[in-house]
Chains A and B, each alone.
Chain A
Amino acid sequence: MTDQFEPTIIGFTCNWCSYRASDLAGTARMKYAPNVRLIRLMCSGRLDPTFVLRALSDGADGVMITGCHPGECHYIEQNYKALRRYLLLKRVLVGLGIEPERVKLVWASAAEGAKFAAETTAFVEEVRKLGPLNWGRTDGGNAE
């Protein structure tokens, strides 16, 4: 192992599209960065923005939110609600002193295993550049 920083990322997925995209990436044996740990929701609309804050305070360096493409939501239009919350959340993050780039929204249909893998790897690199967040640590990470 090299000394480069390995970020930890929590990924929220929609049961109908992006989770299936991640399944597809698996069945197709597409390799992507191992830094992301996925949580399955029924819909990106289920994503309470406080889940993102919880993940960051638990030590995650970034959060990826994924859902169906606009117009393809399994629940008709709930991904638009996810989009709205995402945009608001980014503003809140700025207020909290967190780089808004640590949270990213990605649309991936059930057929887009390759996109899911590529977006994940790309996001890991983006967060790697930002460095550790250390938000959940009372010592600000100085103890290392």
Chain B
Amino acid sequence: MTERVGVYVCHCGSNIAGTVDVVDVANWAAEKLGRQGVIIAREYKFMCSSLGQELIEKDIKELGLTRVVVAACSPHLHEKTFRTAAKNAGLNPYLVELASIREQVSWVHSDKAVATAKAKAVVSGAVSRVIENAALEEIKVPINPNTLVVGGGIAGIQSALEIANAGFHVYLVEREPSIGGHMAQFDKTFPTLDCSACILTPRMVEAGTHPNITLLTWSEVTNVAGYVGNFHVTIKKKARFINEELCTGCGICQEKCPKKVIDDVYEAGLGYRKAVYTPFAQAVPNFPVMDKENCTYFIKGTCKACEKFCPTGAIDFNQQDEMLHIDVGNIVLATGYDLFDARRVSNYGYGRLPNVFTSLEFERLSNAAGPTSGNIVLRDGKTTPKSVGIIHCVGSRDKNFNNYCSVICCMQGLKFAHLVHERTGATVYNFYIDMRTAYKAYDEFYQRVLEEGTLFVRGKVAEVTNAARNEREKGKLIIQVEDTLAGKQRRIPVDMVILSSGLQPRADAKEVGKMFGISCSMDGWFTEKHPKLDPVATMTEGIYIVGCAQGPKDIPSSVAQGAAASARVLDKILQKEVALEPIKASVNQALCSGCKICNGLCPFNAITFIEDDKVTSINPALCQGCGTCVAACPAGAISGTGFSNEQIIAQIDGLMMRNLEPIVA
């Protein structure tokens, strides 16, 4: 059947018409592309306007067009507009092709003759291609109303609560024994100096007791299969050696356990916990966890003090890891960050000079529930520092470590300055490259800290050393810095140094990303669908990223993202089904030779080999439409809708004016 093609050339005001002779392009298309099937070519001031669209709709109906080419802007802008217009006129929307003569021609070239010639080639390419387009239907898949939230920090908690409050079920998975995340370790939160636990723990309890939330702590996701609306997730629930049905959380086991262990996680190595423990008093859930590596019974085979004293008989030394299989429709990843390892900046002496502290260590020192009951003291556990230096940008904005700004460290450094000042009266120095206090009430906090008398030195610290050069420096930590405002080198002796370390992607972010089918940026943070307009969605439908997993951010932004992702999830759930772009690969099994060349190419596990028939098959629901397998098939057995070989080759021929007179500019 001969196709009847309509070509519509847009002026876009003067955006296109100023550089491209649009009338010439339309006349040329009508005259020279007739053999290709063009029966009408028009130009109009604004094709995207309702009048422009009506023009196309009218032609489809009256002239019986079977294909439409709109030579206008980028398909990313108005493809949908013209597809909808075609649909309104009864033409399958996928039989419309956009020729981008604005972004690719008029806006990037100056010579009118050259630009007009190129516009003709682009139109010719689109006409050749559209003939090969096939009528397609959107693919609809049902949505499972359950949601998985991975990570129980504040972002994940917020996300889980929003969805649960809307009446839908959430599985909240956390790999530590308690939810709460990094926020549970903090003392105060900037800029309001709210007590972190006071604002966080009610949310934790709400999440822990919510009828719509299944809380799975001490658990990790080990496998993800399926696609939007229909994910199948495997979760490993690690053995706690505590029967959760029987445990009341009374804490007697922790009291009686004779084994003390340095707490590297929650107390940042500054305090102790027992071998059976809850990480902190307000932990949710309140069931303890037995640390098998350190438990005397597991090491020596005797002890069982906890079992002896447990009033409900909840200790179970024979408990095994459990594999849970759940089905969910959407997944929110709130996996958080790792703190930059300050040991890597060896010239700052962390790990070598005892009185150099990391930010997390300081959080625990200043926390009233921490190992020193909130007393800010040196590593000896008793001396109050008289002078403290706080170094900003540790591991951030540094080509040797991380190029990016970790966002929170300036405000964190200011918060530390305030707390040291308030609790010890010590002289406080803040060493900064630039002071970044954007967002609501942040700069006001900076002004407040300035007024409190904190001394600010602008310059990147070169070194922290204990090698004194004079009496004044003896027994002190000396901060060597170029004061870039005074324009000179300074040596400032202090008792204590706090490193305002930056944030890093989780050490396993790459593997986690791969498991969920999403990618990481060069820096290692999860990549959002659009950095501005779609910051919580990812390129994989049904997977969302919130909080620091997406990039460094503060608590308000993490909470906002958690809620934002939930709105997107609820939107999906309420639609009950989701429409997928019909760009998919499929195998013509009559042509498939079973060579398996394509089998290893799909990162979405859409390709499977059917052993019985010795042919390959592609699951359209898993296929993301990249077309890599289509390009790889030596038998030409795989075809990809939307971007078929025929369409692409036709476009090449069209662009190259194959079988047409060459255009002379």
A contacts, CB < 8 Å to B: 1, 8, 10, 16, 19-20, 22-23, 25-27, 29-32, 34, 37-43, 45-49, 51, 54-55, 58-60, 69, 71-78, 81, 85, 117
Report how far A73 CA is from B103 CA in the complex, Å.
23
Q: Considering only CB atoms, which chain A residue lies closest to B113 in the complex?
A: A1
- With A23-B103, A26-B102, A51-B649 as known contacts, state yes or no: A31 contacts B627, CB within 8 Å: no
**B595-626, CB < 8 A from A:** 601, 603-604, 624-626
Is A72 within 8 A of B108, CB to CB?
A: no
Question: Would you call B408 an interface residue if the criterion is a C-beta within 8 Å of the partner chain's C-beta atoms?
Answer: no
Is A47 within 8 A of B108, CB to CB?
A: no
Q: How far is the CB of B156 from chain A (nearest CB, A)?
A: 24
**B227-271, CB < 8 A from A:** none
| 28 A-B pairs (CB sep. < 8 Å) | A1-B665, A8-B656, A19-B76, A23-B74, A25-B103, A29-B108, A34-B108, A34-B115, A37-B655, A41-B627, A41-B648, A42-B627, A43-B626, A45-B601, A46-B628, A46-B631, A48-B631, A58-B653, A59-B656, A59-B657, A71-B520, A71-B521, A72-B519, A72-B527, A75-B626, A76-B604, A77-B603, A78-B628
Is A20 within 8 A of B522, CB to CB?
A: no
Chain A residue contacts of B122, Cβ below 8 A = 37
Is B108 within 8 A of A32, CB to CB?
A: yes
Report how far A29 CA is from B648 CA in the complex, Å.
28
Q: How far is the CB of A55 from chain B (nearest CB, A)?
A: 5
Q: How far is the CB of A81 from chain B (nearest CB, A)?
A: 5
- With A22-B104, A43-B627, A75-B626 as known contacts, state yes or no: A58 contacts B539, CB within 8 Å: no
Is B522 within 8 A of A46, CB to CB?
A: no
Report how far A43 CA is from B642 CA in the complex, Å.
13
Chain A residue contacts of B640, Cβ below 8 A = 46
Is A48 within 8 A of B630, CB to CB?
A: yes
* Size of interface on B: residues with Cβ below 8 Å to A: 53
- With A51-B648, A54-B652 as known contacts, state yes or no: A37 contacts B102, CB within 8 Å: no
Known: A29-B108, A38-B104, A75-B624. 5 other contacts (CB 8 A): A10-B652, A23-B100, A34-B118, A59-B656, A76-B517
Chain A residue contacts of B651, Cβ below 8 A = 39
Q: Considering only CB atoms, which chain B residue lies closest to A26 in the complex?
A: B103
Chain A residue contacts of B100, Cβ below 8 A = 23, 26, 38
Report how far A55 CA is from B604 CA in the complex, Å.
31
Q: How far is the CB of B334 from chain A (nearest CB, A)?
A: 21
Question: Would you call B121 an interface residue if the criterion is a C-beta within 8 Å of the partner chain's C-beta atoms?
Answer: yes
Is A40 within 8 A of B115, CB to CB?
A: no
Is A71 within 8 A of B522, CB to CB?
A: yes
Q: Which of A39, A48, A74, A117 contacts B645 (CB 8 A)?
A: A48
Q: How far is the CB of B591 from chain A (nearest CB, A)?
A: 16
Report how far A76 CA is from B527 CA in the complex, Å.
11
Question: Would you call B75 an interface residue if the criterion is a C-beta within 8 Å of the partner chain's C-beta atoms?
Answer: yes
Is B628 within 8 A of A26, CB to CB?
A: no
Q: How far is the CB of B653 from chain A (nearest CB, A)?
A: 6
Q: How far is the CB of B231 from chain A (nearest CB, A)?
A: 17
Q: How far is the CB of B517 from chain A (nearest CB, A)?
A: 7
Is A26 within 8 A of B643, CB to CB?
A: no
Chain B residue contacts of A55, Cβ below 8 A = 652, 656
Report how far A55 CA is from B103 CA in the complex, Å.
22
Q: Considering only CB atoms, which chain A residue lies closest to B521 in the complex?
A: A72
Chain B residue contacts of A47, Cβ below 8 A = 631
Is B76 within 8 A of A20, CB to CB?
A: yes
Chain A residue contacts of B115, Cβ below 8 A = 34
Is B118 within 8 A of A76, CB to CB?
A: no
Chain A residue contacts of B658, Cβ below 8 A = 58-59
Is A58 within 8 A of B628, CB to CB?
A: no
Q: Which of A1, A42, A81 contacts B643 (CB 8 A)?
A: A42
Q: How far is the CB of B170 from chain A (nearest CB, A)?
A: 27
Chain B residue contacts of A51, Cβ below 8 A = 648-649, 652
Q: How far is the CB of B311 from chain A (nearest CB, A)?
A: 52
Chain A residue contacts of B114, Cβ below 8 A = 34
Chain B residue contacts of A48, Cβ below 8 A = 630-631, 645, 648
Q: How far is the CB of B70 from chain A (nearest CB, A)?
A: 15
**B364-418, CB < 8 A from A:** none
